[in-house]
Chain A
């Protein structure tokens, strides 16, 4: 392997101080180390965040929001009772991702920052504009059945594979980052970038900046009673989404008063269109209304390769997710979270 330095700072300040161009922050390593082993990422310094205690807390904020430290493990967040009660679809999305072992190792910051699963990105021998700007996009004419149908460009058709980020986007989460220039907040909607002609610019994080925490605003907790995540995948568990949907509603007197809706695995960022949510407000929760919202959410969708099926699948998944959310958040986490088989007997 390429040699690299390894440092393990104990504070955010030390972590930032350790940063030099070419360094990478290490969370659980479930993505970064894999990419290093196959030669896709080659940092010359690894700054292991694992001992920074100040980043490892889940705080339920007085007004009803929450602040999650970047180092909190995916499993710990999903199993935090207070958090899961307030933001059930975030917990459900996390539990629908990867496997138990991976979720135990993966951090919230790492999940937010995880790279695309585009197979050409993961293969240093293929042209890839995202990995090597200007080299071309091997996926355009290649194996692209699970790549983007929204927001893609000729330069890149990759998707963001995170489950967790989909409900976070729907709920308007805020990413707290800290860099040499101090702290700032970034709305999740502007955190991940669409590829445009510079797919190598993946996020709003500046070099050296560290994700410190993710905040959920107080109003997001108001959706707790009707909030679901649905993930369609090629096996019952442990597979990245073909499409996924976070759908949350507030329903009063049989009418939707507010809605939150986002799609995953269809674009380089979680796909949220507020017009689709506005369309739902004031309506009764019926299939026709849901179908209109789905159409609005998918407006402009077009295949980037052999993936046209994802558009129809996404449309159906949106309707289903809204139906599930209208039916109410289940009291207990389903045995198979986010699965259309959720209510089937548990396999565990």
Chain B
């Protein structure tokens, strides 16, 4: 069993600030050498293997399962079906918490989407359980699957995700449109996309009486404990979740999905540890996805090219039984351009699919894709350079609400990005640029926008008698580098070099590190760590100031500076003492600090808080065959204080690569008759390969934000996807003169 993560960071010491340094990821070597233990690497004694049996129809009822054949197979221990389902205490149809979804744990024989669980086979070996699952040969009473936007007339969504309203109105867009000198009315489609993290969803569950231990990749470790406590009727404190390493999450590993709950239930029923690992194909259904959207954008401009109306209606395909997560694409039009009237509305069409959920930049990515293309189209109509058009409609306060931005260096992003890219001199008209090899060349741009949320977190920081530090918070490193960046923040708060700080994370018995989501993890968990470290230093200072033998005696009222393991009087640095000495004289007890972080609601109400960016894309396209390639991408982002430039740039690059993926590759292809997805593997579900990613450049623009949080941190995890998709779509138009109003854009679209 892997222990919780506890590694001392060994890094070259840097005097002063750890933050702001490009420290290399501390889990990197463990990962590339295979020492990192992912959930599925755990093998507790007596462990059984579970194999997930998914529905192969999208809607109907299971009428028969050949459980006898499966059970008769050597090595099969149990076959769970609705007839003998392992008990779950909490009502699976209830939603105990925000973000929770109704789950299927074999409570009945209905099938509401393909890949929903219809049985769970348990074996002594994976091979036995796999064959048992195959032998079940399910029979169904099939009802016609509802697939695509034409399945039913779109209805207004009851509400948007994340507690947001389905509709936001600022001013009268109909009036704004009718008064406009020029208008645009376009519809863009985006497909269903599946997270496809490298590591599949996996769990190893082990019960000891009514105590539960689970190893599973999880983006919200402490929160998830509460979910599982609900489903199994035990106190949250009885549950230990270990999640030291995640092979990507992208939003799909934050809530307890059906397969995970089923595996835990099976382990309880059988009183043996159970492991379940989903196959790649099984991840196309029960574990969330980005819902398909159809977005209508209407824009009006006056004679000065000033926007009089921005009206964004997004229709999202949702499941038939929960509908809580319409991909909130229309949100993307709030908060960005200075239109005198703004309207966004979410609509839904129900299909027989699994419940959609948050996938990297949920709403922002899909909404930005359509919005940024529409803005480009409007600029074209106005006969303006797309950057000039955006500057013309630059919002100095949040449009609609009139709130000031906590900080907004978007102008600088535009300028820096344009300069680096060489945007100046771009021909306005399309199909003007051909390179020396004859490829059609196009340049496009898009604005990137993502909120800068903060959640709640706690942390503990300890100064040890030897002067080193220990910090703890249950954060999640999904590969984004949280351990490293958070350790940097913690080390700073303790006034210690990184290698003198032990950082524990990734386990639910630590203080709640909050959700690694919404691009708010560094701000949130980092804020708590900072507070805890500061608290420990404050206590240390109190000891020193009260100790007549300390050089710091009596300096308590001036405050202290903590640096490199020494405490200095703030106004007289000739007076200082090493931590270890202070602690030794005080009796050698370790000093504990506690901290928490959350954004006060009044701060949130006062300012609009976003990360911003500008993305510029160059595409080259074969003029005859229309094979496309993104040859350059320059993204300039302003995202508050950057804790670790290397990690931040990697996150932004990763986001931009997702943008390439969205623009040119990713798409779940549904069979319209059966409602099943036909490309459920990575040979068929394309994402970019190395050869598709060229000339990627990230610039981070300096931004001091005194309002977002004490550390001035915004987020970098998701914003890179936004802006990029539109930039590529616009570059394709610029190269070819063709507006393709759906994603991904394919060769056949340009050939048509």
A→B interface (CB under 8 Å): 1-3, 38-39, 99, 117, 119-120, 123, 125-126, 138, 141-143, 145, 232-240, 242, 309, 312-313, 316-317, 319-320, 336, 339-341, 343-345, 347
Tell me if B624 and A235 are in contact (CB < 8 A): no
Min CB distance A1 to B, Å, is 5
The chain B residue with its CB closest to the CB of A346 is: B691
The chain B residue with its CB closest to the CB of A2 is: B131
Min CB distance A269 to B, Å, is 21
CB of B422 within 8 Å of the partner chain = no
Tell me if B692 and A236 are in contact (CB < 8 A): yes
Q: Which of B56, B130, B624, B694 contacts A347 (CB 8 A)?
A: B694
Tell me if B690 and A347 are in contact (CB < 8 A): yes
Residues of B near A340 (CB, < 8 A) are 622, 625, 627
Tell me if A119 and B679 are in contact (CB < 8 A): yes
Quick one: given A234-B746, A235-B665, A340-B625, are A125 and B56 in contact (CB under 8 Å)?
A: yes
Interface centre among A1, A117, A343 (most CB of B within 10 A): A1
CB of B424 within 8 Å of the partner chain = no
Quick one: given A234-B665, A234-B686, A235-B692, are A119 and B747 in contact (CB under 8 Å)?
A: no
Instruction: List B578-626 residues whose CB lies under 8 Å from chain A.
Output: 620, 622, 624-625
The chain B residue with its CB closest to the CB of A141 is: B673
Residues of A near B631 (CB, < 8 A) are 344
Quick one: given A1-B131, A123-B678, A143-B671, are A316 and B624 in contact (CB under 8 Å)?
A: yes
Tell me if A313 and B689 are in contact (CB < 8 A): no
Residues of A near B554 (CB, < 8 A) are none
CB of B664 within 8 Å of the partner chain = yes
Tell me if B691 and A347 are in contact (CB < 8 A): yes
Q: Which of B131, B671, B688, B692 contacts A138 (CB 8 A)?
A: B671
Query: How far is it, in angstroms, between the C-alpha of A345 and the C-alpha of B632 when the chains are bound?
Result: 13
Q: Mark B657-683, 1 if CB is under 8 A from A, else 0.
A: 000000011000111111010110001
Tell me if A143 and B665 are in contact (CB < 8 A): no
CB of B164 within 8 Å of the partner chain = no
Number of interface residues of B (CB under 8 A): 40
Tell me if A236 and B671 are in contact (CB < 8 A): no
Min CB distance B633 to A, Å, is 14
Query: How far is it, in angstroms, between the C-alpha of A319 and the C-alpha of B625 when the chains are bound?
Result: 10
Quick one: given A142-B678, A313-B751, are A1 and B686 in contact (CB under 8 Å)?
A: no
Min CB distance B622 to A, Å, is 4
Query: How far is it, in angstroms, between the C-alpha of A55 and the C-alpha of B437 when the chains are bound?
Result: 43
CB of B629 within 8 Å of the partner chain = yes
Query: How far is it, in angstroms, between the C-alpha of A1 and the C-alpha of B676 when the chains are bound?
Result: 24
Quick one: given A232-B747, A341-B627, are A1 and B130 in contact (CB under 8 Å)?
A: yes
CB of B403 within 8 Å of the partner chain = no
Q: What are 28 A-B pairs at a CB distance below 8 A?
A: A1-B134, A2-B131, A3-B131, A99-B689, A119-B669, A125-B676, A143-B671, A143-B678, A233-B627, A234-B665, A234-B686, A235-B692, A236-B629, A237-B689, A237-B690, A309-B747, A309-B748, A313-B747, A316-B624, A316-B625, A336-B691, A339-B627, A340-B625, A340-B627, A341-B622, A343-B437, A345-B694, A347-B690
Query: How far is it, in angstroms, between the C-alpha of A145 and the C-alpha of B669 when the chains are bound?
Result: 10
Residues of A near B627 (CB, < 8 A) are 232-233, 236, 339-341
Residues of A near B669 (CB, < 8 A) are 119, 143
Tell me if A145 and B748 are in contact (CB < 8 A): yes
Residues of A near B98 (CB, < 8 A) are none
Min CB distance A232 to B, Å, is 5
Tell me if B131 and A142 are in contact (CB < 8 A): no
Known: A309-B752, A320-B624. 18 other contacts (CB 8 A): A117-B684, A119-B678, A120-B678, A125-B676, A138-B671, A143-B679, A232-B747, A234-B664, A234-B747, A236-B691, A238-B689, A309-B751, A316-B624, A339-B627, A340-B627, A343-B437, A344-B620, A345-B694
Tell me if B437 and A344 are in contact (CB < 8 A): yes
Q: Which of B620, B673, B747 contacts A242 (CB 8 A)?
A: B747
Tell me if A313 and B691 are in contact (CB < 8 A): no
Residues of A near B693 (CB, < 8 A) are 347
Tell me if B678 and A313 are in contact (CB < 8 A): no
Residues of B near A3 (CB, < 8 A) are 131
Min CB distance A305 to B, Å, is 12
Min CB distance B104 to A, Å, is 19
Which A-B residue pairs are the 7 nearest by beta carbons? A236-B691, A237-B691, A309-B748, A125-B56, A119-B678, A340-B622, A238-B689
Tell me if B130 and A232 are in contact (CB < 8 A): no
Query: How far is it, in angstroms, between the C-alpha of A239 and the C-alpha of B685 when the chains are bound?
Result: 10
Min CB distance A118 to B, Å, is 10
Query: How far is it, in angstroms, between the C-alpha of A277 and the C-alpha of B605 when the chains are bound?
Result: 74
Query: How far is it, in angstroms, between the C-alpha of A319 and the C-alpha of B624 when the chains are bound?
Result: 10
CB of B388 within 8 Å of the partner chain = no
The chain B residue with its CB closest to the CB of A230 is: B625
Q: Mark B692-708, 1 if CB is under 8 A from A, else 0.
A: 11100000000000000
Query: How far is it, in angstroms, between the C-alpha of A123 and the C-alpha of B694 when the chains are bound?
Result: 35
Residues of B near A99 (CB, < 8 A) are 689
Min CB distance A18 to B, Å, is 23
Residues of B near A313 (CB, < 8 A) are 625, 747-748, 751
Tell me if B625 and A320 are in contact (CB < 8 A): yes
Residues of B near A336 (CB, < 8 A) are 691
Tell me if A119 and B673 are in contact (CB < 8 A): no
CB of B127 within 8 Å of the partner chain = yes
Q: Mark B238-258, 1 if CB is under 8 A from A, else 0.
A: 000000000000000000000
Tell me if B134 and A39 are in contact (CB < 8 A): yes
Residues of A near B130 (CB, < 8 A) are 1
Residues of B near A236 (CB, < 8 A) are 627, 629, 689, 691-692
Q: Mark B281-296, 1 if CB is under 8 A from A, else 0.
A: 1000000000000000
The chain A residue with its CB closest to the CB of B129 is: A1
Residues of A near B678 (CB, < 8 A) are 119-120, 123, 142-143
Min CB distance A70 to B, Å, is 24
Residues of A near B747 (CB, < 8 A) are 232, 234, 242, 309, 313
The chain B residue with its CB closest to the CB of A306 is: B748
Tell me if B751 and A312 are in contact (CB < 8 A): yes
Query: How far is it, in angstroms, between the C-alpha of A2 and the C-alpha of B130 when the chains are bound?
Result: 8
Residues of A near B437 (CB, < 8 A) are 343-344
Query: How far is it, in angstroms, between the C-alpha of A217 and the C-alpha of B134 when the chains are bound?
Result: 47
Residues of A near B281 (CB, < 8 A) are 38
Query: How far is it, in angstroms, between the C-alpha of A124 and the C-alpha of B130 when the chains are bound?
Result: 15
Residues of A near B691 (CB, < 8 A) are 235-238, 336, 347
The chain A residue with its CB closest to the CB of B694 is: A347
Q: Which of B625, B671, B689 contacts A317 (CB 8 A)?
A: B625
Tell me if B686 and A239 are in contact (CB < 8 A): yes
Tell me if A142 and B671 are in contact (CB < 8 A): yes
Residues of B near A309 (CB, < 8 A) are 747-748, 751-752
The chain B residue with its CB closest to the CB of A119 is: B678
Tell me if B686 and A235 are in contact (CB < 8 A): yes
Query: How far is it, in angstroms, between the C-alpha of A347 and the C-alpha of B689 when the chains are bound?
Result: 11
Query: How far is it, in angstroms, between the C-alpha of A141 and the C-alpha of B437 when the chains are bound?
Result: 40
Min CB distance B672 to A, Å, is 8
Query: How far is it, in angstroms, between the C-alpha of A131 and the C-alpha of B699 when the chains are bound?
Result: 53
Residues of B near A38 (CB, < 8 A) are 281
The chain A residue with its CB closest to the CB of B435 is: A344
Residues of A near B670 (CB, < 8 A) are 143
Residues of B near A233 (CB, < 8 A) are 627
Instruction: List B548-594 residues whose CB lies under 8 Å from chain A.
Output: none
The chain A residue with its CB closest to the CB of B679 is: A119
Residues of B near A234 (CB, < 8 A) are 664-665, 686, 746-747
Residues of A near B624 (CB, < 8 A) are 316, 319-320
Interface centre among A238, A317, A340 (most CB of B within 10 A): A340
Min CB distance A241 to B, Å, is 11
The chain B residue with its CB closest to the CB of A239 is: B686
Tell me if A232 and B625 are in contact (CB < 8 A): yes
Min CB distance B678 to A, Å, is 4
Interface centre among B664, B693, B751 (most CB of A within 10 A): B751
Q: Mark B456-494, 1 if CB is under 8 A from A, else 0.
A: 000000000000000000000000000000000000000
Tell me if A119 and B748 are in contact (CB < 8 A): no
Residues of A near B664 (CB, < 8 A) are 234-235
